[in-house]
Chain A
Amino acid sequence: MSGTSKPVADWTSGAELIAYQSCRACKHIWYFRRGFCPACGADDVADLKASGEGTVFAISIVTRAATAEARAHVPYAVVLVDAAEGFRMMGHGDRDLRIADRVKARFEKFTDHIVPYFAKV
């Protein structure tokens, strides 16, 4: 059962990669990692690597950050991106992005870690 195996390394653990999961039983696709399918409950889960391509769903430019470390980066754009593979994720991006822009991710340093950073393609 994949839920007991070590999760795939991705940007949340410092690797320059966006990972997602899919259910081999019902084909459901999702982003927040877990050891079972949130749609059907099956535990036959595939860990997959995303292309980093997608479309901007929403954007907010943060000018009031909560920590001194984040404050060094303001203003920064937080975006929700609909990934080409069919899941939605949060990332950073260029401040002039607009909803429905087609984007691709690279990785940028933010405070003490890396985050997915989307720019227009």
Chain B
Amino acid sequence: MSFISGVGLTAYGKHEGRSTLDLMSEAATLALADSGLKRSEIDGVLCGYSTTMPHLMLATVFAEHFGIQPNYAHAIQVGGATGLAMGMLAHELVEAGVTNNVLVVAGENRLTGQARDSAIQTLAQVGHPEFEVPLGPTIPAYYGLVASRYMHEFGITEEQLAAFAVLMRRHACLHPGAQFHDPIMIADVMASRSIATPLKLLDCCPVSDGGAAFIVSREPVNEFGVRVMGCGQAHRHQHVTLAGDVTRYGASDACGRAMAASGVDLGDVDYAAVYDSFTITLAILLEEIGIAKRGEAALMAANGEFEITGRLPLNTHGGLLSYGHCGTGGAMAHVVETHLQMTGRAGVRQVRDASLALLHGDGGILSSHVSMFVERVR
């Protein structure tokens, strides 16, 4: 058994003058306060990476800076899937009896801590150094390639995909911490400048500063009662050149393993937190997981099914697309929002019933997949 016993999230956007460690510390402090745990009760620390503060031992650096001496600490790296991969590892660690309370923490001044070109260049290095990177692709180009093929196979249009950008913005408008608060419409997405066809600026998540943290505990330590049921992963390729089958990037494998570990069906899920680096990412993940039929995820979005009042509320904080994306912390905001929804603390964004949630993250070019099911137990 493991429980998410506390969550912390900063606003995403610009945090001028604040460092990776500043943002990690702020998020960790918030999560600790939320859990009611004392610093001394944190016996495990997991963190990801920061492109503005590359370090061989970021978890230990953070622990020292934050002022804790855990029994267990290290960083892990699986790109955008890192947040959920840390959640899975924390779950497995407390289940195995290695630790009692694991602090999972991320933060990065990705927006203000470096030039925009530098961030784009660093991220593009997930491509193959000899056979892809010399061609000048960017992350949007890798996803643009995926999008062109997927849209061709399943008859999806750019206008249809834009519904996801509009939906995420609508949700972000209800969250004071989101990077963007200007409502947008389909026409705005279509009119935004091209980045890498068929993806336009508003199809892409932004670069952000921010921090996020959550604590995974072996026992319930407060009244929240949010239990991690089970998790699964899949890693079928790294490079887009070798992402062979557009119907099986790995999301269905990861989710299938998580379902088996949790003993639940997709039909039981009443809240979804799905990685949304680009509009196409949401379409592919929702369809491969099986929440939507092939080619229909964007239509479901347009029909209101993923709204706060819809059949399956999705990323009600605004997701990466509009809450923002600060690297490792990006998808951890999805975890924080899920927790707020499950504990009835989402305020104006509160959904009717979030008793069973599916979280799914992807890293690279749909390369690394992590799925997690979480339930409310009281």
Contacts and interface: CB of A to CB of B under 8 A. Distances in A.
Interface of A: 12, 31-33, 57-68, 70, 73, 75-76, 78-80, 88-92, 99, 110-111, 113, 115
A32 B128 CA distance: 9
Contacts of B135: 78, 90-92, 110, 115
A60 B144 contact: yes
Top-3 shortest CB links A-B: A60-B144, A66-B120, A70-B136
A66 B147 CA distance: 20
Contacts of A32: 128, 130-131, 239, 241-242
Contacts of A67: 117, 121, 136
A105 B141 CA distance: 20
Most buried by A among B121, B134, B147: B134
Contact of A78 (B120, B145, B149, B239): B145
Contact of A113 (B124, B134, B137, B244): B134
Nearest to B239: A32
B248 to A, nearest CB: 15
A110 B121 CA distance: 16
Given A89-B131, A90-B131, A65 B241 contact: no
Contacts of A62: 136-138, 140-141, 144, 195-196
Nearest to A80: B145
25 contacts: A31-B241, A32-B239, A32-B241, A57-B149, A58-B146, A58-B149, A59-B148, A60-B140, A60-B141, A61-B196, A62-B136, A63-B197, A64-B120, A64-B138, A64-B196, A66-B120, A66-B138, A67-B117, A73-B136, A75-B194, A89-B241, A90-B128, A90-B241, A99-B149, A99-B152
A62 B132 CA distance: 14
Contacts of A115: 134-135
Nearest to B195: A64
A64 B144 CA distance: 12
A61 B195 CA distance: 8
A63 B241 CA distance: 20
Interface residues of B, number: 34
Interface of B: 117, 120-121, 124, 128, 130-132, 134-138, 140-141, 144-149, 152, 193-199, 239-242, 244
Contacts of B124: 66
A111 B121 CA distance: 15
Contacts of A61: 144, 194, 196-197
A80 B148 CA distance: 10
Given A31-B241, A32-B242, A63-B195, 15 more contacts: A33-B130, A60-B141, A63-B197, A64-B138, A65-B136, A67-B121, A67-B136, A73-B136, A78-B141, A88-B244, A89-B131, A90-B132, A99-B148, A110-B134, A115-B135
Nearest to A12: B130
Nearest to B149: A58
B131 A60 contact: no
A78 to B, nearest CB: 5
Contacts of B148: 58-60, 99
Given A12-B131, A57-B149, A110-B136, A63 B242 contact: no
